[in-house]
Amino acid sequence: MKKILAAALLLLVHFSNAQSFLNGFVVDAHNSKPLAFATVQLPELHLLVYSDSSGKFSIQNLPEGNFILKVSYIGYESLIQTVSVSQAKNILPIKLEPIELETEEVVIYGTHQNDWRNTPMDIVSLGRDDISGRGNLSLSSAIAKLPGMGEMTTGGISKPVIRGLYGNRIQTQVLGIRFDNMQFQDEHGLGLSDAGVERVEIIKGPASLSYGSDAMGGVINVIEENPARTGKTEMDVNLKSFSNTLGYAADAGWKKATQKWNLRLRLGTESHADYIDGNGSRIFNTRTGGYVAKASAGFRKPHWVMQNNYMFSHYNFGFVLNPAEFDSSLLDARGSRSFDIPHHTVLFNIFSSENTFFKGLSKVKLNFGFHSNNRMEREGGNKISLNMLLSTGNLTLQWNHPLEHKGEWTLGTDAMFQNNTNLGSRIIIPDADFFEDGIYFTVNLPVKKIVIEAGARFDYKMIQTFETGYLNTVDTVYINAPGQNIIPFSRTYTVANGAAGVSWNPSKDLNLKLNVASGFRAPNLAELSSKGLHEGTYRWEIGNPDLKSEQNLNTELQINFEADDLRLTAAAYVNS
């Protein structure tokens, strides 16, 4: 397998410096009227242009190969198709159909980008307006409004639920890499700001074939905003207010793009007081607030496209207090945003680099990144008790090659290394190292109106804990426990997974999908090693280092129907 992946990298040794381009025009399909300022996008290349006043567009400095093209215009059905980019002087005609309801979207799964009709997986997309324009307090609350979705929430702390599964049974992708927010506990929310988010894509059902461990219930992929249109500088300011929490959110962005590079910067902040429930009662200490900064820089050459991303986030989250520990003297003003009472502080930094190399019709994708997640629990008076630092490194290497006629095969590997270090006086999980790696092979084959997709994957995961002192030392007027020592241990897990499915498009309006897929997850550190009181959950937790990995099998049938102003979806699944 290593030799095959090495051969993929050897494709990068000799590159062509020839300049390729894509020229075309956008018109109304009925009367051939030019559509000025239509959006023309090559998502895989992080490239966006507008057609001119006569409907024409030209994109220069492109690598040769086949790419997904998306063309959209208000009041028209978006067109998504695969285009071949070469040095030939071809003119691409784009004809858009008038429509009242626009539902087309390019979806991302693994490192693939495609029309949702061309995969048997159940993938839904939530756009920017649905995320930030409808009074949603968080990304999780926006996602919860989709069919089959939900959320676990206590005020500012919220985490998404996919078909009843949450936490370590679903995986989150941010900036093109796997995101870990210590989601092993219910009160550890997703904690992501919606500032600068273009859309969120959700895969419902097992997706371990492409994503590996934890993707049993599905995947949440947070997609950042599009780059500026080529040759332009764009700026925006967004303000929101929330009557229930007396809250506000504000962010400002700047971005610029040329034919060869793009830059982006965004700063945001938000603040919320305690929320009011349906009975008109104030839920004390559900306040939240923080700030976020994002930046990206990318460049494009005929043989190489790179996009580098960075995110910084610092948020405070209050949590509902144990009634036995609640003191009425803690009550403050209705609009208070003070965090002098117990709360969580979550600080993370994320860096990622997304790279695609081109040689002929082959593509080698190399994504890597690092993120640190510092979670602190502060007691009254801002005294830190719990302080955990989770450091994560990610690497994805993938070789895509087209089949002789249509479709493609993909060979890839994902690796992740993590280290958990305790820095506080109270410990709920030990210091530990984690390593996991997966190797997979998939095939996507269109046959007339049917798309067949299948693949297999093998994963390995290792957990090594270290001597950390005493777990869960507690000494209060309610509970006295001297703490529990835990003997260091090492565990390894191996598992095979697969998926096979078909997507059938008998007509433009109708789509049917059948998919069978398996997923898995290894036990998390809390399940293996907890031994004592976790105050955020108000229960005594005892881990079991001999737990086995979880695995599930999901069979799903889905029917999608689209008319001019209507889309209906029905899905039935069995998950065991």
Stronger pLDDT, 6 or 34, i.e. the higher one: 34
- Cβ contact 406:443 at 8 Å: no
CA geometry: angle at 141 spanning 73 and 146, to 5°?
55
Cα separation, 226 vs 50, in Å, equals 13
Q: Is the pLDDT of residue 364 over 90?
A: yes
Non-local CB neighbours of 532 within 8 Å, separated by 6+ positions: 428, 471, 472, 473, 474, 481, 483, 484, 540, 541
Q: Is the pLDDT of residue 471 over 70?
A: no
pLDDT tens-digit map of 270-302: 999 998 888 988 888 889 999 999 999 999 888
Stronger pLDDT, 570 or 565, i.e. the higher one: 570
Share above pLDDT 70 across residues of the chain, in percent, rounded to a whole number:
86
Q: Is the pLDDT of residue 417 over 90?
A: yes
One-letter amino acid at 566 equals L
- CATH numbers and ranges of domains, the chain: 19-104 (2.60.40.1120), 117-226+238-282+292-332+343-575 (2.40.170.20)
- Residue 111: the pLDDT is 55
Cα separation, 309 vs 397, in Å, equals 18
pLDDT tens-digit map of 304-335: 999 999 999 999 998 887 766 666 777 888 88
- Residue 100: the pLDDT is 65
Cα separation, 41 vs 79, in Å, equals 10
Average confidence (pLDDT) over 55-75: 86
Average confidence (pLDDT) over 414-420: 95
Average confidence (pLDDT) over 518-544: 77
- The gap between the terminal CA atoms of the chain, to the nearest Å, is 31
- Residue 10: the pLDDT is 47
DSSP letters spanning 440-483: EEEEEEEETTEEEEEEEEEEEEEEEE---SEES-EESSS-EE--
Residue 502, Cβ neighbours under 10 Å: how many? Answer: 16
Stronger pLDDT, 61 or 232, i.e. the higher one: 232
Stronger pLDDT, 562 or 274, i.e. the higher one: 274
Q: Is the pLDDT of residue 469 over 80?
A: no
What pTM was computed for the model? 0.87
- Residue 137: the pLDDT is 83
Rounded to whole angstroms, what are the CA distances from 408 to 66, 73, 79, 294, 510? 11, 30, 22, 34, 24
Average confidence (pLDDT) over 184-201: 85
For residue 325, the SS3 value is helix
